Each structure stands twice: as structure tokens, then as C-alpha cells.
Amino acid sequence: MMKWVFGGLLLLSIIFGVITDHEAALTESALNSCVDAVELFLYLIGGMCMWGGLMRIAQKAGLTAKLAFLFRPLFVLLFPGLDPNSKAYGLICMNVAANVLGLGNAATPIGLNAMHELEIENRKADPRADSSIASRHMIVFIVLNTASITLIPQTAATLRLKHGALSPFDIFPAVVMTSVIALACGLAVALIFNAVERKKA
């Protein structure tokens, strides 16, 4: 997929730029954008490391586990039929907690483990289940992961500061509202489809 985005953007730019007489700007940007990329990297890496360090302390102090514990009763609604004492259920709670704290590094391996456990749960529920078909719990879990519920919208705030925003974190309430609603819409679609398909089966 990315090869088409990368190649497509470059070729379209060159064709469009040459037709509309933008060769000079094209050349300049070809030589300069990579410098901008390194500058952007330097601008962001400090904040990434700072929060990475803080969140590692949070994890070691058990804050991820505490947050995961808070999610336990809530997720019963999202994963009907999944045993709350199963390994999969625990991993799902930990994965979401790590995501909320912005611990992407820690969240992904936990999430992959959760997917593996969901495969096992799926076979437990129905020994003849086809393992090439996504189970209903997997779909809900992936929606949870593609929606972004973050405590600190760090990257956005850092770049806002770079470009002279007066109060870079003032987007916080809007970010929370937007991500919660977006997640709710995604979950609603997943759960409705799940319910309809189960009725058919």
C-alpha cells in the first residue's frame, strides 16, 4: 500500500508541477523536504523520549495495571460471552490501559498476545470454527485499538507549540470528546454487525 502512496504522490507532483510551471518549486522542495523531515524529527524526539520515560515509571509503579482494573467491568458490555477471568480478557484490559497512557511500545506486544488468546477462545467456544475468519471479539478489540483514546495528545501539542499556539493543550477537551465519540461509533457498527450475524447463524 505505502509504495503506491509514496510513488503516486511523487509522480503526480512531478507531472502536475511540470504542466503548471512549478519546476523551480518542485526542485527546491525535492532538495529541502528531507531537511524539514530531520528538523521535524528533532522537534518531536525530545517530547517522545520525555513521555516515554515518564510512562515507563507509570508502568513500573503499576498505574497501567490499575487503569486496566478500572476497565474490567466496562468491557463486559463490549465482549459478551468472553469469560472475564480468561487470559484474553486480562490482556485486552492491559492493552487498552497502555494505549490510554500513550505506551505504544508496550501496548502492541500485549495486543498481539490478546489476539492470539482470542483465537484460542474462539476455538474453545466452537471447536469447528474456521481460524481464517475473524471472530466477533477480535473485531471489537481491533476497533478499540484503531480508535485513539489518549491521555496526552503529545505530538499534536508539540507541533502546535512549534507553530506558535498560545495554549498548545487547549485542544485537550475537543480531542477527548472526538475520540470517545469516534470510538463509540466504531464499536456500535462492530457490535450491530456482530449481533445481526449471530442471529442469522
- Residues 71-130 contacting another protein, CB under 8 A: 104-105, 108, 111-112, 115-116, 118-119
The 10 Å Cβ neighbour count of residue 190 is 20
The cell for 56 is 515507563
Alpha carbon distances (Å) from 9 to 4, 19, 65: 8, 15, 43
Among 77, 128, 133, 201, binds another protein (CB under 8 A): 133
Q: Any contact of residue 131 with another protein (CB under 8 A)?
A: yes
Candidate ranges 71-79, 80-88, 164-172; the one touching another protein (CB under 8 A)? 164-172
How far apart are the C-alpha atoms of 123 and 170, rounded to whole Å? Answer: 47
Among 69, 87, 125, 151, binds another protein (CB under 8 A): 151
Whole-number minimum distance, CB 83 to another protein, in Å? 19
Per the CB < 8 A criterion, the answer to whether 89 and 121 are in contact is no
Whole-number minimum distance, CB 65 to another protein, in Å? 11
